[in-house]
Structure 1
Amino acid sequence: MTETADNRQDVLLVGFGAVGALYGWLLEQSKGVRVTAVARSNYKTVQEQGVQIESAKFGKHSWQPYRVLHDVHQAADRDYKFILCTYKHLPDVTPTQDILGPCLHRSNCFVLLQNGIGIEEPLQELVPHATIISAAIWVGANLKESRRVVHNDLELLVVGRFKGEKRGPNHQMVTSKMPEADADRLLEDLVKLLHAGNSNTLPVSDIQPVRWKKNLWNATFSSLATLAGEPMSVLMRDENVNNVIPIARRTMLEILFVARSMDINEDKLPATAVDEQLSLTLSQFGGIQHANEQRIGESEEAAAGRAAFKPSMLVDHDNNRPMELQCIVGSIVQRAREFSVETPRIDMAYSILSVKQRKFVELAGAAQHKPTARMSAELAQRFARSDSPVVPSGTPLDLPSTPTKI
């Protein structure tokens, strides 16, 4: 590890959006690290002016990372205690090895602050002797004007070591070759640094159920909002909600059935999580008819922002950018096929959105990477088979009946 005059340890941050900037700043507040940030689209602005943190939880702060670079090759001049990956996970655009490049060999601990399912294994195969810390994030932050991080009071980071993932019968589990004691120590060190920066970070022994719980919402409502082309408040309007909620609930159950096939049982991810997610969604977005409508005690700005909220998948779609479709939705479809679990609603959403995704990938100039197109071909072959096995989705679970009111 590179030693510094003041004994701070180097941390590399790849991806300098709202999440990357916020957690890079939090780490430096610990006084134990210095952050090298790789910022591509906003490199010049951040390098010259730094960033402005405007947070209801942490207050207002100006921050200039220790180093701001525009390329990972520049960052490969030293070793790092941690490499934080906060860029969007788009394997059908740019594989992990192309993004991290020479920095893959500059650390023995990678921290994935990214959405989706199954994002750890491809990286673990590239760095077998390193440990991967996987995270699920609940944070209300947006990057505005390339350098302003506007954050509310929501900030929860759940972290745990990647210990492998059960896959289909012909798949060999991929795990780290690092001794568990050393890997646990790295997780403890990261948590201590984040706690010192006043982050609400929670370590867990098994991170996969947490990731699947978060992906219940992401895969379901990101898909529905993107297919509809409307913000969440429109989906939850009175004239739409009676159609949307039953479809959303059954979609979440499909995701839960896939998780069950991977040994994420009731103790790890209760079936009640489905209705909890739906209830939270209704409480957050239900009953709004227009952007100026305010709830009791709510500011006009907060009401307008909530009414206009779009999942990031829809934001990317509206801007003709590649979406995080593969890691959020495609990964579920792939695992469902491995275990012969029927997921008709997820399949349909994925197949339709893949049509748009291929267009966006081509526009991004990365048509040579096409796992999404390959998955669609596999699905098409499966749908064409008359002998395709049918696995009743409800078989593994004793689930509560659909409530008449949530």
Structure 2
Amino acid sequence: MHIVIVGTGAVGTILGSRLQATGQCHITAVCRSNFEAVRHNGLKINSDHFGNSVFKPDYVASSVEDATNQDYSFDYIIVCTKALPALTNTVDLIRPLVSSNTSIMLIQNGIGIEDDCIQHFPQNPVFPAVIYIMCTQLSPGEIECSGQVRLIIGANRLKGVVDDHELRFERDQKHCERIRELFNIGGIDAVLTDQIQGYRWLKIVWNASFNPVSVVSGGCDTVEMLSQPETADLLCTIQHELWATGEAVTGQPLPLIPGTRSPEELCRATLKLPAYKPSMLHDYLNKRPMEHEVILKNPLELARKYKIHIPHVETVYALLVLLEKKNNRSNSNKDNA
């Protein structure tokens, strides 16, 4: 099976390496900033669960166009880039890789990330996934990963979006099951669900609370945020707002899994984990664009559509955008100095 990973950072590296380990997948990795390091030395992986290894993709591409310079088409495109619609259009990015037999799997944060792909590739299975992973790219050629990786995969129910929504759901779910089996063989805890949007909202409850608050609080990690009663209360309040929005949008209760059956449980479970700086904070500190459009703005717009009042989410979103603009100005001034 031919699979291309678009965005071979920390997440893309772990997923690509586990699929390659099955012995059933030929992996093409699209690497941009880390192309030279990966082409010459592969990617060193330090993992307390999978063991230490070096991942050498079967083909290392410097761009999407480079990845197409092969004599085969791709069965799966796995997109692991950050979702930054204002800067990168995922449809345009992957279009050269898509053929009639290609399935598109989006492993990105946020709500509504798959909508454009569904619209532009109506004949191709398009499905988002939810990943729970603790990993980071220490350098352009080295990845650190802690613990097991959990992946939740499922097709969208497109009732009201396409006429043959049930047939499309069944078709896409078969392609989800096919890749799920491969991830399981590769040692990843991958499960199939028919409630993928519920699980995406469940992750938004965490992402859209801890991520922005870590930035607007001045750079606090999870333990620091939760150890301060007032901040812990703020996080729970934001999560309740998002929880209510997710249930309104999906039309059903969010999935209940151990440790996340309520915002209070989610905060208690997070406090038991090692101190962790959310990805948005890393982006802010390194003056990179933050994923606030898909993590905060899209849920806000849906809340307004469904007449759900979420004032605390609105507040942290407004502050986050303001801080990013100030951050960008300071970076621009430094470049011009």
TM > 0.5 = yes
> Pick from 310, 313, 330: which aligns with 1:343?
310
Distance 1:82 1:280 in 2: 34
Q: Do the aligned partners of 2:19 and 2:183 also contact (CA within 8 Å) in 1?
A: yes
> Pick from 13, 17, 31: which aligns with 1:21?
13
Q: How far apart are residue 176 of structure 1 and its match?
A: 8.0
Q: Do the aligned partners of 1:97 and 1:104 also contact (CA within 8 Å) in 2?
A: no
Q: How far apart are residue 174 of structure 1 and its match?
A: 5.5
> Pick from 31, 34, 48: which aligns with 1:42?
34
- Whether 2:130 is the aligned partner of 1:152: answer no
Which residue type is aligned with residue 44 of structure 2? Q
Distance 2:164 2:264 in 1: 35
Q: How far apart are residue 57 of structure 1 and its match?
A: 0.9
- Whether 2:226 is the aligned partner of 1:236: answer yes
Distance 1:364 1:68 in 2: 32
Q: How far apart are residue 269 of structure 1 and its match?
A: 5.3
Which residue type is aligned with residue 66 of structure 1? D
1:143 match: 137
> Pick from 135, 146, 156: which aligns with 1:162?
156
2:232 match: 245
1:65 match: 57
2:175 match: 186
What SS does the corresponding residue of 1:91 show, helix, strand or coil? Answer: coil
Q: Which runs of 5+ in 1 are unaligned?
A: 1-8, 166-171, 285-305, 366-406
Q: How far apart are residue 18 of structure 1 and its match?
A: 0.7
What SS does the corresponding residue of 2:230 show, helix, strand or coil? Answer: helix
Aligned pair in 2 of structure 1 residues 173, 360: CA closer, same or farther (>3 Å)?
farther
Tell me how large the CA RMSD over aligned residues is.
2.4
Which residue type is aligned with residue 244 of structure 1? T
1:315 match: 282
Distance 1:11 1:85 in 2: 11
1:124 match: 118
The structure 1 segments of at least 4 consecutive aligned residues displaced by more than 4 Å after TM superposition are 174-181, 358-365
Distance 1:100 1:357 in 2: 28
Distance 2:102 2:20 in 1: 20
- Whether 2:208 is the aligned partner of 1:214: answer no
Which residue type is aligned with residue 290 of structure 2? M
Residues 98-156 of structure 1: CA distance to partner in whole angstroms, max 9, x if unpaired?
32242244653111111111111121111111112221111111111211121112311
Moved more, 9-18 or 180-189: 180-189
Q: Do the aligned partners of 2:100 and 2:124 also contact (CA within 8 Å) in 1?
A: no
Which residue type is aligned with residue 144 of structure 1? L
Which residue type is aligned with residue 45 of structure 1? A
What SS does the corresponding residue of 1:59 show, helix, strand or coil? Answer: coil
Q: Do the aligned partners of 1:46 and 1:64 also contact (CA within 8 Å) in 2?
A: yes
Q: How far apart are residue 249 of structure 1 and its match?
A: 1.2
Distance 1:184 1:250 in 2: 35
- Whether 2:96 is the aligned partner of 1:108: answer no
Q: Do the aligned partners of 1:163 and 1:176 also contact (CA within 8 Å) in 2?
A: no
Which residue type is aligned with residue 47 of structure 1? R
Q: Which runs of 5+ in 2 are unaligned?
A: 333-337
Q: Do the aligned partners of 1:124 and 1:176 also contact (CA within 8 Å) in 2?
A: no
1:266 match: 253
> Pick from 63, 79, 84: which aligns with 2:78?
84
Q: Do the aligned partners of 1:213 and 1:273 also contact (CA within 8 Å) in 2?
A: no
Aligned pair in 2 of structure 1 residues 226, 267: CA closer, same or farther (>3 Å)?
closer
Q: Do the aligned partners of 1:225 and 1:235 also contact (CA within 8 Å) in 2?
A: yes
1:331 match: 298
Q: How far apart are residue 360 of structure 1 and its match?
A: 6.5
> Pick from 194, 199, 202: which aligns with 2:188?
199
Aligned pair in 2 of structure 1 residues 336, 179: CA closer, same or farther (>3 Å)?
closer
Distance 1:133 1:354 in 2: 29
Which residue type is aligned with residue 97 of structure 2? C
Q: How far apart are residue 36 of structure 1 and its match?
A: 0.5
Aligned pair in 2 of structure 1 residues 184, 235: CA closer, same or farther (>3 Å)?
closer
Q: Do the aligned partners of 1:88 and 1:324 also contact (CA within 8 Å) in 2?
A: yes
Q: Do the aligned partners of 1:226 and 1:314 also contact (CA within 8 Å) in 2?
A: yes
Which residue type is aligned with residue 10 of structure 2? A
Q: How far apart are residue 189 of structure 1 and its match?
A: 1.2
Residues 7-29 of structure 1: CA distance to partner in whole angstroms, max 9, x if unpaired?
xx210100011110000011111
> Pick from 128, 148, 153: which aligns with 1:134?
128
Distance 1:315 1:11 in 2: 29
Residues 190-248 of structure 1: CA distance to partner in whole angstroms, max 9, x if unpaired?
011111111111111111111111111110011111111223232233xxx21012111
TM-score by length of 1: 0.75
Which residue type is aligned with residue 200 of structure 2? R
- Whether 2:140 is the aligned partner of 1:173: answer no
What SS does the corresponding residue of 2:52 show, helix, strand or coil? Answer: strand
Which residue type is aligned with residue 226 of structure 2? M
Q: Percent identity?
A: 25
Q: Do the aligned partners of 1:218 and 1:328 also contact (CA within 8 Å) in 2?
A: yes
Aligned pair in 2 of structure 1 residues 360, 244: CA closer, same or farther (>3 Å)?
closer
Larger-Rg structure: 1
Aligned pair in 2 of structure 1 residues 364, 97: CA closer, same or farther (>3 Å)?
farther
